[in-house]
Chains A and B, each alone.
Chain A
Amino acid sequence: MSIEIKTHSMEPIRQTYAHIARRFGDKPATRYQEASYDLEAKTNFHYRPLWDAEHTLNDPERTAIRMDDWYAVSDPRQFYYGAYVGNRAKMQEAAESSFAFCDKRNLLGRLPDATQQQLLRLLVPLRHVELGANMNNSMVAGDATATTVAQLHMYQAMDRLGIGQYLSRIALLIDGSTGAGLDESKTFWMDDALWQPLRKLVEDTLVVHDWFELTLVQNVLIDGLLYPLVYDKMDQWLGEQGAEDVSMLTEFMRDWYKDSLRWTNAMVKAVAGESDANREQLQAWINQWEPQIYQALTPLAEATSGLEALDETRAQLAARLSKFGLNSQGVSA
């Protein structure tokens, strides 16, 4: 049996905002829709930027990609701010209990010195890659015009900061919260030959001007090779080195990457599907960047789970891109 409370319902004048009704019809809209469509200023900008002679404020031509309507890109997760922080709050809660458990049981502190060194040399320096990703995504959030696209990248920017902080905390668990582990780890990033190709790659992305090239390189190509390599293949390898306990501290990254695939795939699909010109531009960027990324990750792969592991992730990325009519150099492809 169900109980139904009678409520007084009032006839509204309209069901939603006009800019939402123009897209979706005059019917009750979702929270995601009212928060994400056509909120930004689009026209009649008053002054040209002092910092960019080529473009106006909110200029869709800050990328070579052309879309009839950038709102063809939307978020399959339907993240507006509240949904985003709600989801991440749950994820951080799980991460927090894992970190607390590791801390309480001293699971990292009791590892042999050599294993700790491996973590500081091979895993923790990725926090610098995350900082680069944070900067790149903040740039895209400031450059992309449509709110659906800009907000995706703002969330992504903050996620990368959070992931960099979790990686940093792995070092703090090892060094007993003194910072010595972080200092040591950073010298690997700066000086160890293993990291230099990747460090150069990250610095190279920081001077890319076209924001869609940047999101493609950062969020699809680099992440597409790096996340499966590090958080799947290398995770297994670390387990074999006696560092299996660290796996619970990188669960956030695995969940996060799986989640990010949903929107990055949706975005590339919409953009590549828009026109041949777009697809050719994406292909040119993939041809230019994907081999560099593969090269940059090679030393890390060779020092850990082996080059075959990187080749496998390369094949995964190639298979993923082929769904959008794009090619890249997968082993089996």
Chain B
Amino acid sequence: MSIKQKKLNLKDKYQYLTRDMAWEPSYQKKEDIFPEEQFEGIKITDWSQWEDPFRLTMDAYWKYQAEKEKKLYAIFDAFAQNNGHQNISDARYVNALKLFLSGVSPLEHAAFQGYAKVGRQFSGAGARVACQMQAIDELRHSQTQQHAMSHYNKHFNGLHDGAHMHDRVWFLSVPKSFFDDARSAGPFEFLTAISFSFEYVLTNLLFVPFMSGAAYNGDMATVTFGFSAQSDEARHMTLGLEVIKFILEQHEDNVPIIQQWIDKWFWRGFRLLSLVGMMMDYMLPNKVMSWAEAWEVYYEQNGGALFKDLERYGIRPPKYQDVANDAKHHVSHQTWSTFYQYSHATNFHTWMPDEEEMAWLSEKYPDTFDKYYRPRFEYLRNEHAEGRRFYNNTLPQLCQVCQIPVIFTEKDDPTAFSHRQWQYEGERYHFCSEGCCDIFKNEPEKYVQAWLPVHQIYQGNCGGADVGTVVSEYYHIKPGTDNLEYVDSPDHRRWLEIQGKSPAAKHSGDKQDAA
């Protein structure tokens, strides 16, 4: 070649190896090739302004990912061969994995589908490649999680039908409707919801509790997945931040749209995390940190700094952030109480914390635990000891948006439910909070479609006229095995056998053996 030019720097070279492969079409109209870019109202003036959040060519991707996979599977194999499930702190811990496999892993798969879709929808080739790499990463997470849990599924109950349950079980419509909401939205909202709000702002409140929980509780399989996925997650976070900055810089009219999405997805994400809060405070026999501490570090401090940084684009922190900050003192206790009384209809067990755990909760929640929650738990513990383990046989009112039972309380009054209602086209809808009510009012035509599990049971669409039949036939939750109280469950008895303690030596309802 005779043309004299400078050697490409890394950034330009990467752009030549990705976006330069695309071209301006002449034989089809651009809006026919990319028909989904307009309807959300987001204006993109120049896709070339997109900064690549990371620069991985495919050969490097294959190479680095293959190295990670090789190490990961070597550890999975060793874990299974050596029956590593016996090394966990306590079988109660496995209930966190049941929640993970039925609630979180299906979201990895939905993310794979969502990112494959937006990896086609954007007209910016750099953004498409970044989304496609995230899509295949999420496929990885979905599959490696199946493999990580595979051995637990063989030795514990409740992990056997995660995807089936995700589509059907009442509390799993909380994560399911979250991702259905994002995937039924347009591509820019999907990225704001998942890449920014979820993978960037809130990721540490989902990922860290489960993975550190595994580390603190002797679960080598899960923690190894966590370590292995860390560098994937770092890429996903970078994409989240780049996306939001790019859209905000493209046009000033984008700012109010993005602000509304940030408000919505912060609140939906925060509600989804109620499940993680209870997992952290109650399901981990060895505690990592309290939910309140996690929220302070990962949301109030880190999120605070982030939204400070976004001020220059005209973005303010999410609406009702003050409510969420205050709720950190309550949310895990309220959620655990709810699951405790409805665990005849869950694929995992519940139990009452022992004395030592209650002392820890008193210490971590000095202003709320002893006042509002300890008396409740002591009452329930006594009832159990008296042979009256409490199950609530009346199904709860669900929130029309987040689909969690309406169990949350007013910011300034932890004894009053923050129930809201609203009429739309002659029908009445109920909400757990102002946050969810606002989301409904912005898009009522979307949320009136929700498949609310309790309503569907009452409509007779869940394979049975009573909860027992729904649970066993429709949910595939095996009664007396997967569900109910942990104490005396088959998992509990099996664990005592593993520990060399005879299950017959204990009395029913004696909670000391739960520890």
Interface residues of A (CB under 8 A from B): 7-8, 10, 12-19, 31, 34-36, 38-51, 57-58, 80-82, 85-86, 88-89, 91-93, 95-96, 109, 113, 116, 127-128, 130-131, 134-135, 138-139, 141-143, 147, 150-151, 154-155, 157-159, 161-162, 164-166, 168-169, 172, 174-182, 186, 189-190, 199-200, 203-204, 206-207
Contact partner of B25 (CB less than 8 A), chosen from A12, A50, A158, A203, is A203
* Interface residues in B, total, Cβ within 8 A: 98
Known: A7-B82, A40-B113, A45-B180. 6 other contacts (CB 8 A): A38-B164, A44-B168, A51-B39, A138-B128, A143-B117, A179-B8
Beta-carbon nearest neighbor of B450 in chain A: A46
Q: How far apart are A225's CB and chain B's nearest CB, in angstroms? A: 19
Which chain B positions have C-beta within 8 A of A82? 66, 69-70, 72-73, 140, 143-144
Q: How far apart are A37's CB and chain B's nearest CB, in angstroms? A: 10
Interface of A, secondary structure class, is: helix
- Verify if B142 is at the interface (C-beta below 8 Å from A): yes
Beta-carbon nearest neighbor of A185 in chain B: B20
- Verify if B449 is at the interface (C-beta below 8 Å from A): yes
- Verify if B466 is at the interface (C-beta below 8 Å from A): no
A34:B146 contact, CB within 8 angstroms: yes
A165:B446 contact, CB within 8 angstroms: no
Complexed CA–CA distance, A138 and B187 (Å): 14
B5:A180 contact, CB within 8 angstroms: yes
Binding-face segment, B150-158, B326-334, B366-374: B150-158
A116:B1 contact, CB within 8 angstroms: yes
Complexed CA–CA distance, A80 and B150 (Å): 15
Q: How far apart are A41's CB and chain B's nearest CB, in angstroms? A: 6
B22:A131 contact, CB within 8 angstroms: yes
Which chain A positions have C-beta within 8 A of B2? 113
Which chain B positions have C-beta within 8 A of A157? 116, 119, 132
Complexed CA–CA distance, A230 and B453 (Å): 55
**A40-B163 contact, Cβ under 8 Å, with A50-B184, A89-B66, A131-B21:** yes
Among B151-179, those with CB < 8 Å from A are: 153-157, 159-164, 166-168, 173, 176-177
Mask, B260-284, CB within 8 Å of A = 1, is: 0000000000000000000000000
B58:A162 contact, CB within 8 angstroms: yes
Complexed CA–CA distance, A304 and B345 (Å): 68
A176:B7 contact, CB within 8 angstroms: yes
B27:A204 contact, CB within 8 angstroms: yes
Complexed CA–CA distance, A12 and B153 (Å): 9
Complexed CA–CA distance, A218 and B36 (Å): 22
- Verify if B312 is at the interface (C-beta below 8 Å from A): no
Contact partner of A180 (CB less than 8 A), chosen from B1, B58, B143, is B1
A40:B109 contact, CB within 8 angstroms: yes
Beta-carbon nearest neighbor of A58 in chain B: B113
B120:A17 contact, CB within 8 angstroms: no
Complexed CA–CA distance, A151 and B449 (Å): 30
Shortest 5 CB-CB distances between A and B: which pairs? A162-B58, A142-B117, A89-B66, A12-B154, A178-B5
Which chain B positions have C-beta within 8 A of A80? 143
B83:A134 contact, CB within 8 angstroms: no
Which chain A positions have C-beta within 8 A of B67? 89
B8:A178 contact, CB within 8 angstroms: yes
- Verify if B230 is at the interface (C-beta below 8 Å from A): no
Among B118-155, those with CB < 8 Å from A are: 118-120, 125, 128-129, 132-133, 135-136, 139-140, 142-144, 146-147, 150, 153-155
Which chain B positions have C-beta within 8 A of A169? 17
Contact partner of B186 (CB less than 8 A), chosen from A36, A41, A50, A164, is A50
Complexed CA–CA distance, A48 and B72 (Å): 38
**A14-B160 contact, Cβ under 8 Å, with A34-B146, A135-B120:** yes
Complexed CA–CA distance, A138 and B476 (Å): 34
B157:A13 contact, CB within 8 angstroms: yes
Mask, B171-209, CB within 8 Å of A = 1, is: 001001100110111110000000000000000000000
**A85-B27 contact, Cβ under 8 Å, with A178-B3, A179-B12:** no
Which chain B positions have C-beta within 8 A of A45? 180, 184, 451
Q: How far apart are B123's CB and chain A's nearest CB, in angstroms? A: 10
A200:B27 contact, CB within 8 angstroms: yes
**A141-B167 contact, Cβ under 8 Å, with A31-B147, A47-B450, A161-B129:** no
- Verify if B442 is at the interface (C-beta below 8 Å from A): no
B59:A50 contact, CB within 8 angstroms: no
- Verify if B61 is at the interface (C-beta below 8 Å from A): yes
B6:A178 contact, CB within 8 angstroms: yes
Q: List 19 interface pairs A-B (beta carbons < 8 Å), by A numbering.
A: A19-B163, A31-B147, A46-B173, A46-B449, A47-B184, A51-B186, A81-B144, A82-B70, A82-B143, A85-B69, A95-B59, A127-B21, A139-B117, A162-B57, A165-B17, A178-B6, A190-B26, A199-B26, A199-B27
Which chain A positions have C-beta within 8 A of B45? none
Complexed CA–CA distance, A79 and B6 (Å): 42
Beta-carbon nearest neighbor of B490 in chain A: A13
B139:A154 contact, CB within 8 angstroms: yes
Which chain A positions have C-beta within 8 A of B63? 89, 92-93
B21:A176 contact, CB within 8 angstroms: no
Contact partner of A85 (CB less than 8 A), chosen from B66, B166, B183, is B66
Q: How far apart are A296's CB and chain B's nearest CB, in angstroms? A: 11
Among B212-228, those with CB < 8 Å from A are: none
- Verify if B16 is at the interface (C-beta below 8 Å from A): yes
Mask, B51-62, CB within 8 Å of A = 1, is: 000000111011
